[in-house]
Amino acid sequence: MAIVKPFKAVRAPRDKAALVSSKSYEIYTQEMLNAKLAFNPYSFLHVINPGYKYHKQDITGEQRFKLVHNRYLEFKEDNIFLQDEAPSFYIYQKTTPTHTFCGIIAATSVEDYHNDVIKKHESTLRTRELLFENYLKNTGFNAEPVLLTYPDNTTIESIIEKYKSSRPEYEFSTTDKDLHLLWTITEDEDLETITKAFGNIDTLYIADGHHRSTSSCLLAQNLAKDNPNHTGKEDYNFFMSYLLPESQLSIYEFNRFIKDLNGLSPDEFLIELDTYFRIENRGQELYKPKEKHHFSMYLNGEFYALYLRKSVYNFSDTLSELDSEILYRTVLKPILGIEDIRNASKIMYSQDKSDGLELKTKVDSGDFKVSFGMQATSIQEIKKIVDAGLIMPPKTTYIEPKLRSALTIYEFL
């Protein structure tokens, strides 16, 4: 049963929320980052880019992490960040031009992560785990929640709808035309109802934030070892999450772009593909798969439709049924010689939220020889694979919403 609890968020006052919160740091180019830092003194980017104050952009490692902590303290000293007086759940709604997402920001348990109540669908890189664990240890806070999903629940939804009828604590739009709303839940009865409702849910699934959750759990283990009075109730035993009903997730596919044909000519490559696929040349007609086990390919100036020959492919488990895994087992590894799809330099991934034209433009540019597209993976497929104890290939899903940093901050040290 899932352990979900309210917490005392550190956050900006109502009048500064739009100025303080930011997109995830990794999204910004250096030019965009410099512009934000130059014209917005309230931006959270000043906290996580602390060298800007000293006109130094190349501060790295533990020195940078300690400066992040110092900038964070300055924001608190200047009352840009204030801590709520009472533990709360936070309803956060993000409305884009095409979707509305509405869920609850809460503290979730590292124990649930270790006990497989919170399940993951991606592998994590040890180097990134250790790097972010060191960041958390030095800064003492987390400003970007892990995205978790759960089966739609009428009890939780009724509480959310109750608060949405009142004025939100935050209400602002951003330049990408997204509307952000936030309500605080502080009534004891509602806090207890939500806590019990999540307590009746068997499994939460990580949709986005695998490294953040793994690093938080690693830090909790290390802090527990160093604490002779450890009880399991300390704040470091929890990490901040945004819990969203399954029906509200938006899942997109990733396209694959390959730099060479592993020594094959285009015609030789097509002959190799014929073993596992029925191939249709679509010429200049843009093709996007409408069924599972169908793939689009752009090669040598033409689009192709690839239909898996199911009679010659071995569906051995739930992972083998996944289109990204099928492409790896039938094409990327045996024909194109890509063994390690996580680290291979000859493959590049790009999320597909458009009409698929990127398959053509990137190959026509000369940077790649061939590209592949597929249908998006469903939440049912993800859960089926996770529940079987299997891990999906990297870059199988691009999941939204992408969350803003510093709307709420979770302090654990």
Tens of pLDDT, residue by residue, the chain (413 residues): 899 999 999 999 999 999 999 998 888 888 888 899 999 999 999 999 998 877 777 777 889 999 999 999 999 999 999 999 999 999 999 999 999 999 999 999 999 999 999 999 887 878 889 999 999 999 999 999 999 999 999 999 999 999 999 999 999 999 999 999 999 999 999 999 999 999 999 999 999 999 999 999 999 999 999 999 999 999 999 999 999 999 999 999 899 999 999 999 999 999 999 999 999 999 999 999 999 999 999 999 999 999 999 999 999 999 999 999 999 999 999 999 999 887 778 999 988 776 678 999 999 999 999 999 999 999 999 999 999 999 888 888 899 999 999 999 999 98
Which amino acid belongs to residue 185? I
Which amino acid belongs to residue 390? L
Q: What pLDDT score was predicted for residue 341?
A: 81
Residues 6+ apart with CB under 8 A from 286: 303, 355, 356, 357, 360
Residue that has been written with the tokens 């160093």 in this structure: 226
Distance, CA of 207 to chain centre: 6
The domain made up of 252-398 has a fold known as 3.30.1760
Which amino acid belongs to residue 78? D
- What are φ and ψ of residue 117, in 5° steps? -75, -40
List the one residue out of 333, 328, 319 whose CA is nearest residue 391: 319
**Number of neighbouring beta carbons within 10 Å of residue 231:** 8
Query: Cα–Cα–Cα angle for 154, 248, 410, nearest 5°?
Result: 85
pTM of structure: 0.92
Domain boundaries, the chain: 4-250+400-411, 252-398
Supply 262's token pair: 């592993």
Q: What pLDDT score was predicted for residue 354?
A: 66
- Rounded distance, CA 82 to CA 40, Å? 19
Q: What pLDDT score was predicted for residue 29?
A: 87
Length of the chain: 413
Asked if 317 contacts 388 with a C-beta cutoff of 8 angstroms, the reply is yes
